[in-house]
Structure 1
């Protein structure tokens, strides 16, 4: 059967050969906007109560689109919004369009209380237009995205990992997909093994090394250390922030002035503290806790204490013993 999964791209292409870099965007600006866009997708996914698979698929669509188009052409906020929207359709985790737009408006413009129908209509037009651009550029090929999370469960099943070890590895996988380097130039099973490798260090758990456990997954020690190094570099960065790098003639500029004008008008409305408290209570009624108190993110920190630990992996279906040695024997017979 022909392999129709997206190809693994060369590391040098992902780092230095993107349309944004060719468009004179610096590496620092590009990485900052990549992390910001993926953080926006993650935060919106949590507020919309989407499963992690939907969120992760949206992040990969986001990265793949920017291998085709420049960040100076398409607004990171609009692409993030459209990428998650497409992922919701693929994963059949639909949400009402108004609720979807409301969540993104609250994340992008947290100081805005009143959301007028005009703002919703304008953002809806931007969402649909950007969705079409993504579908055309990526050729509607969204059904073969492999996530590292599925390998996490398989690896931990073989190694008989405990729930805390699995949870931390799962969190590392969530963080890894914010990076285009790991999402596009690293195989999913390598990311999964790297996440398990880091999780075992965090929990001071010894994993089998005779033979090395990672060899069962066609992975090398160098691969694991590459994932670890890249994630630690990401955690050392300050919190990502939005920066407008769009050209004046870019497609995303169409109608953007109208949106900004409407938002400026709404910001001038006098809002009482009672109204703000009512808005906070409204979110709490939807089951979203500590969002306004703690903020959507406090920057990049180690996943062992990740803010997103609520995105839990499904429980292991089996607790059988001696799985590692059995798989070693099977591996040697091949």
Structure 2
């Protein structure tokens, strides 16, 4: 990650252009569109698991950013070596452990076993057939004791791999609180606008442009406010107010377009993978590449 200036707790180390264009997965022959689909599905898996574990959105968002960083650059993880489901689980477990909401390995693995069940999962990219009419057999989604012991070893191993890959830098600054502070400064802290801002920031965690590792939190906050205020018909102060928050017009324009495109990207992903699940393990990735 490239170093940044400013207060550490308000900024992040951003990915370099070389890290974005030369991931370990691409160097290992994983097509870029397949890598994007798998990475996005992994972020959705992390989000859903975090909700089921009753973690706060702050913890979940930090876990998704950590998960995304792991795959960046030639020194990052490769989808032909590490299963996205394992990295997702380890990123969530690690982030929760470092927060005020630690959760046990058993809880994490039980949730992931359910979400990855081809018969019981509510996730469209795991179970394209949708929720079954009849309840699935318990053994299809309940983790056995032997299965738990094996999965726990994998979880702890991948946790250490993530830490080594990131150089033990687990700091993630989020734009959510910054955005709400900016709204108050602009005199636009209406419930509808605030809600829409948070929705845009959460949706951006799934962006194919990897907005959380390419732009600082203050820029993401400004773009979300710009979009939300327009959608809700709220007029902000006159002039180029975004420059007050250290964001130029070019960066704002890119982020607004990227945030607006996330919904269309997700629709296209569902259409592309409507008849099969997105690969979640190395063996499935290899099979998809051979196709």
TM-score category, normalised to shorter length: 0.7 to 0.9
Q: State the secondary structure of the residue aligned to 2:180.
A: helix
Match of 2:181 among 150, 154, 158: 154
> Equivalents in 1 of 2:108, 2:259: separation in Å?
30
Shifted more, 222-231 versus 128-137: the winner is 222-231
| C-alpha RMSD of matched pairs (Å) | 2.3
> Equivalents in 2 of 1:83, 1:204: separation in Å?
38
Match of 1:243 among 266, 269, 279: 279
Match of 1:205 among 229, 234, 240: 234
Larger Rg: 1
Asked whether the 8 Å contact 2:196–2:228 carries over to 1, the reply is: yes
Asked whether the 8 Å contact 2:87–2:158 carries over to 1, the reply is: yes
TM-aligned CA distance change 1:80 to 1:245, over 3 Å: closer
- Match for residue 15 of structure 2? 9
Shifted more, 224-233 versus 70-79: the winner is 224-233
1:81 aligns with 2:89: yes
Match of 2:219 among 190, 196, 203: 190
Match of 2:195 among 143, 146, 167: 167
Structure 2 unaligned runs (5+)? 121-139, 287-291
Q: TM-score, normalised by structure 2?
A: 0.78
Asked whether the 8 Å contact 1:59–1:177 carries over to 2, the reply is: yes
> Equivalents in 2 of 1:213, 1:14: separation in Å?
32
- Match for residue 279 of structure 1? none
> Equivalents in 2 of 1:215, 1:205: separation in Å?
19
TM-aligned CA distance change 1:119 to 1:141, over 3 Å: same
Q: TM-score, normalised by structure 1?
A: 0.68
Structure 1 unaligned runs (5+)? 251-334
- Match for residue 130 of structure 2? none
- Match for residue 323 of structure 1? none
> Equivalents in 2 of 1:47, 1:188: separation in Å?
26
Q: State the secondary structure of the residue aligned to 2:282.
A: coil
- Matched residues, number: 246
> Equivalents in 1 of 2:173, 2:12: separation in Å?
8
Asked whether the 8 Å contact 2:24–2:71 carries over to 1, the reply is: yes
Deviation at residue 13 of structure 1 after TM alignment: 3.1
TM-aligned CA distance change 1:19 to 1:3, over 3 Å: farther
Asked whether the 8 Å contact 2:179–2:225 carries over to 1, the reply is: yes
TM-aligned CA distance change 1:232 to 1:2, over 3 Å: closer
